[in-house]
A and B are shown apart, each in its own frame.
Chain A
Amino acid sequence: MLKHLYDTDCVTWSPQGKLFQVEYAMEAVKQGSICLGLKSNENVVLCSLKRQPSELAGYQEKQFKIDDHMAIAIAGLTADARVLCKYMRTECLEYKYTYESHHPVGRLVFKVAEKSQHKTQSGAKRPYGVGLLVAGIDPNGVHLFETCPSGNYYEYKCQAIGSRSQAARTYFESWFHLFEKSTLEQLILHGLSALKKAIMEDEELNERNVEVGILGKNQKFVHLNAQELKDYIAKLETFNANTQIQQE
């Protein structure tokens, strides 16, 4: 394929109607470690697998609070994610300053998407190399969005992005019909079960490399602490996805 003829910059189309630079940016998202999100009628849960550059280093955080009612999980270039995170936090603060209420979630995702699209239509810019899972609660209900370097955004009941995310998505396809009515605990266990499907054989989930964030109609965004993570990961052993209850 003569890709290299059409992939130098964002302002060149390929004969098949593709913008290769944008597609390459989406590859960067797929290289990031997995993060997933799922929602019920009352709660949204974000689960991510944190990477450790070396034994000596700490683990890279993948979930960031945007406001009390909104949080993101990132996959891809962390530096680009920081830029978008700062933008979203600023927008939420300004909205709160002007209106004394929370920024509607879909609207902020739309703004991020507009910003991302802008980077795909210039000769001098490159797309953001990060995909976001945006979890949020607003008067319209409970939301989970995915944003793309292309500038597209989608709303989901549950979604996983990053490396080996297909395994998590397969798990979701089997069980997502239960999520709407799940309790918060069941949602967390489903999320961790999906995460478990996506790790390598020699890896294991523990409280250091897993990050879980929860958000609810009456629950501001908060990360589970190390002890809570340990407990939930232990409960995974006996969690039956079908009945959503612990089995002995």
Chain B
Amino acid sequence: MIFNSEISGEQQHTTSPVVTGGSVIALVYNGGVIVGTDTLCSYGSMAAFKNVKKIAQISKNTIYASSGEFSDFQQVVKELAKIDRSALQYDDGVHPSPKDYGNFLARLSYKKRCKINPLYLQNVIAGFHNGERYLSLVDIYGTYLESNFITTGFASYFCKAIISNYWNENCTLDQAKQVIRECFKVLFCRDCRAHDVIQLAYVDAQGAHIEEPERVETKWDFNGFKSRANEKLHTQ
């Protein structure tokens, strides 16, 4: 992957992201892998784009999401799609497996980090291949980790307790969905760059399923919010 800026010599180095996506949470469950993100892209502290689909389907049985610079996310989606398309050129029926994408992205990220011009992303690749679940994290440096659960961003701080208490690797799809919804509820309360509309996507033996965005339930009608001693506040 060579950028025009590298050829023309005007190369700049990504030192900080501009438009960013929030946390990604991914879990394996009995029969597949599920990924959840919120649908917000922040412009610094401004919640600029509130209806963004941040989970991409790369191939029949692989999905990809990331947190960090959103333009890098869009570029990576293009690069990964290129690989699948070039497989058509050989016309031999061999398609990359989810692991192939994960490793490719790791090598790409590492290459860019070595040029001090990273893809400013924490990447999550999830897939289901030959009856096996696949879930990996590739970070900004090109570190590659396969795991049963992945969290990026603030989720790594707030959500691991919820995941370890309520999830195991053989839970059902619905249980895993509930855990992710619970995590995003907490994130919406505590992470300033989080949003309460989330999107879930899962991959199983039948392929990738990306669901429509949904709003997580949050509760704000506490008595303490509704009325304080000697004061009548606005109701919701």
Inter-chain CA distance A107–B104, complex, in Å, is 18
A99 touches B92 (CB 8 A): no
- Assess whether A106 is in contact with B100, with CB atoms less than 8 Å apart: no
- Among A98, A110, A138, residue most surrounded by chain B Cβ atoms (within 10 Å): A98
Q: Quote the shortest CB–CB distance from B58 to chain A (angstroms).
A: 14
What is the CA–CA distance of A98 and B90 in the complex, to the nearest angstrom? Answer: 18
B92 close to A140 (CB less than 8 A): yes
Cβ of A140 and Cβ of B94 under 8 Å apart?
yes
* B107 proximity list for chain A (CB < 8 A): 97-98
Set of chain B residues within 8 Å of A106, measured between Cβ atoms = 90, 92, 94
Residue from B90, B93, B100 in contact with A99 in the complex, judged by beta carbons closer than 8 Å: B100
| In the complex, chain A residues whose CB is within 8 Å of the CB of B117 | none
Q: Is the CB of A98 within 8 A of B92?
A: no
In the complex, are the beta carbons of B103 and A98 less than 8 A apart? yes
Chain B stretch 58-94: residues in CB contact (< 8 A) with chain A = 90, 92-94
Task: Give CA–CA (A178, B96) in the complex, Å.
Answer: 33
Give the contact-size bracket for chain A. 10 to 19
Interface residues on B, range: 10 to 19
A241 to nearest B CB, angstroms? 33
Residues of chain B within 8 A (CB-CB) of A110 are 90, 92
**CB nearest to B129 among chain A residues:** A139
Interchain CB contact under 8 A, B94 and A100: no
The yes or no answer to A225 lying at the interface (CB within 8 A) is no
Within 8 A of A (CB), among B93-142: 93-94, 96-97, 99-100, 103-104, 107
Residues of B close to A140: CB separation below 8 A: 92-94
In the complex, what's the smallest C-beta–C-beta distance from A10 to chain B, in angstroms? 26
Contact of B104 among A99, A104, A138, A139 (CB under 8 A): A99
Docked-complex contact B97 and A107, CB < 8 angstroms: no
A107 to B100, CA, bound (A): 16
Contact A138 B97 (CB under 8 A): no
Which residues of chain A (55-108) have a CB below 8 Å from chain B?
97-101, 104, 106-107
Smallest CB separation, A117 vs chain B (Å): 15
The answer to whether A107 and B94 touch across the interface, beta carbons within 8 angstroms, is yes
Give A152-180 interface residues, CB cut-off 8 Å to B: none
Report yes or no: A104 in contact with B103, Cβ–Cβ below 8 A. Answer: no
Asked if A100 and B99 sit within 8 Å, CB to CB, the answer is yes
B103–A139 touching, CB < 8 Å: no
Q: Which 7 A-B pairs have the closest CB atoms?
A: A100-B103, A99-B100, A104-B94, A106-B92, A107-B90, A98-B107, A99-B103
A interface residues, Cβ below 8 angstroms from B: 97-101, 104, 106-107, 110, 138-140
Residues of B at the A interface (CB closer than 8 Å) are 90, 92-94, 96-97, 99-100, 103-104, 107
What would 11 A/B residue contacts be, using CB atoms closer than 8 Å? Answer: A99-B99, A99-B100, A99-B103, A99-B104, A101-B99, A101-B100, A101-B103, A106-B94, A138-B94, A140-B92, A140-B93
A100-B100, A100-B103, A106-B92 given. 6 additional CB < 8 A pairs?
Answer: A101-B97, A106-B90, A106-B94, A110-B90, A139-B94, A140-B94
